[in-house]
Structure 1
């Protein structure tokens, strides 16, 4: 009877961790655009900024605490590693969001805008996506190693295949597509001639987009 109670407690704990990690992922998906919109819109309401930043700090620290508890309380296997990786992905996403928000705030307090701001934001997002990809790839590698040299099962193999497709293959495709689009845009911009003082004077200092 005690063994059954222990098994039920273990299963309930795992289910609770799964629900919490899914909730945290949903929370960061909601918080991310709100906080970045606050920074980009130059909204000076302290209460709105405090709520957004405090939520991000919670989403940064609590997944780390959860990952520590999972690794400390349970024997880490492939299934629990998926939960830990989900916590790590949430923290990585929050770190990228906070970094971009900080850039917006720095630009707000400065008199002149930051040079190459778009490029900095792009590379911050790129580094964040690469780290997320490496975490997902590590999970697949560990799961494959455990299946080959440990206990193999059809269920475990199915999870590895699904995880590889959605979290590795699709991420790699999206990242490569984004890189190609960015490179094409950079090449198109570099092909445009730089405006001289006479050009600006002739067109009343109108940018190319507004001129068209």
Structure 2
């Protein structure tokens, strides 16, 4: 304020001061918006507000004389600017006026230094004990909740959004004629300016987490389920969106490219959200069909969500391929969408098989085989799409937009979604193949033997129309015994080894142990 008054006085060579204008009733100079009087009055009002706030919040000693001098120190530069004083006096007046508030602040800091160190040390002890008891992840999670970080980020981003919206209206961008509707131009401007820094990206990530969390809650309400594991949709969606923003370099792009990239990231995020919704409805479908739940409303709700998960990706694919040319982004969205449709089809097929099994009066021995083949088909399709997305990402990394973050994410995808899935699938296949070979080597029970037995399977407690006979003369369903062999190779009733190969190995081990033990005893005797 003082510098502005001095510069205006020197620039226009004003010989009269504000006090002279007041005494001479020079309304022209006093009411001039660009004049010194307007600047001084504006600064006087601001300093009054600051002095009132400082008087009520400062932690220093509240002696009466200090409380009276504080407003004077805040208002002194404004009052001196009214008088016809030299420029040197006006230049130094803010420095001397700030001495009293600055002294109070320094006094409070030095007087509180012991309590500050005590608070820091207590926080360190608490942190160390908490980490040693519960772990670092629990500490981060508790502090994240205590500090309400998502709420702070959301508030920051919304306040920033309101600021940019106000600037948009005040600058006249609303009435521009560039072929876009004013509402779309406003949304586009806010989205561009809402992710131009990493802090802004964190804010919009918090908004995305909030929206995705409530979308998940809506589907939980539709499906009448309250699974605690499904409440992490918001967190997973936020992490995915932030990783997409980092690996695409969202903050460093030009405004137009940033808006396009942001829209593409939202599209990828929504296809991922469809996968999360399938993870909610799939266990519910399996439980409804396997438990023979008679509630028709719950079945219809689950089937309605499945219909949405088939219809929406299909509509999205049709719209995107009819309006955009083929690109790596479009291929990734298509892969995610087709994968959702395949997963829903697999869930519905297994659901239908379980419902058919519920209506049968006899044990359906081939049901397990059908379920295995359908799930194997779905897992194979998902594995193929994982490989396809890996090569698609490699193309983007080499020819479009590289970066360390994208390379790291591709390595994580290759390990967890390709290597681990392939290893787990091969392990399941080998276990099943080994179990099938073992079951095929066991004799089939005849109808006469089953009539003489007149019993149920000891594993599933269902009537036996067909059975396998173990070497220990126990009867079981072939499919039940095969599932048992996934866990161990001994009879469920008498714990005898079921397969001849294991029996021979067991005998060889026993004979070897019997030959080794006397030899050890003889050597021990000679040593003595």
TM-score (norm 1): 0.81
For residue 147 of structure 1, report the CA deviation from its aligned partner: 4.8
For residue 56 of structure 1, report the CA deviation from its aligned partner: 1.0
CA deviations 1:55-113 (Å, max 9, x no partner) are 11111221232334444455544344333322222111111001111222333445555
For residue 120 of structure 1, report the CA deviation from its aligned partner: 0.6
In the superposition, relative to structure 1, how do residues 114 and 198 fare at CA in structure 2: closer, same or farther (>3 Å)? Answer: closer
Query: What is the aligned residue count?
Result: 211
1:79-94 equivalences in 2 (<5 Å): 79-94=329-344
Q: Structure 1: give runs of 5+ residues left out of the alignment.
A: none
**What root-mean-square deviation, in Å, do the aligned CA atoms of Structure 1 and Structure 2 show?**
2.9
Determine the C-alpha separation between the residues in 2 that align with 1:152 and 1:20: 22
Partner of 1:100: 350
Task: Check if 1:175 corresponds to 2:425.
Answer: yes
Determine the C-alpha separation between the residues in 2 that align with 1:48 and 1:104: 16
In the superposition, relative to structure 1, how do residues 22 and 78 fare at CA in structure 2: closer, same or farther (>3 Å)? Answer: same
Stretch deviating more after TM superposition (45-54 or 136-145): 136-145
Q: Residues 60 and 91 of structure 1 are in contact (CA less than 8 Å); yes or no, is this contact kept in structure 2?
A: yes
Q: Residues 278 and 344 of structure 2 are in contact (CA less than 8 Å); yes or no, is this contact kept in structure 1?
A: yes
> What is the aligned counterpart of 1:195 among 433, 445, 448?
445
Greater fraction of residues in helix: 1
Partner of 1:26: 276
Q: Structure 2: give runs of 5+ residues left out of the alignment.
A: 1-172, 174-184, 193-254, 462-473, 475-492, 494-528
Partner of 1:151: 400
Q: Secondary structure at the match of 2:443?
A: coil
Partner of 1:207: 457
1:124-135 equivalences in 2 (<5 Å): 124-135=374-385
> What is the aligned counterpart of 2:288 among 38, 44, 50?
38
Determine the C-alpha separation between the residues in 1 that align with 2:270 and 2:449: 58
Stretch deviating more after TM superposition (170-179 or 182-191): 182-191
Stretch deviating more after TM superposition (152-161 or 43-52): 152-161
Q: Secondary structure at the match of 2:400?
A: coil
> What is the aligned counterpart of 2:303 among 35, 47, 53?
53
Rg larger in 1 or in 2?
2
For residue 133 of structure 1, report the CA deviation from its aligned partner: 1.2
Q: Which of 1 and 2 has higher RCO (CA within 8 Å, sep 6+)?
A: 1
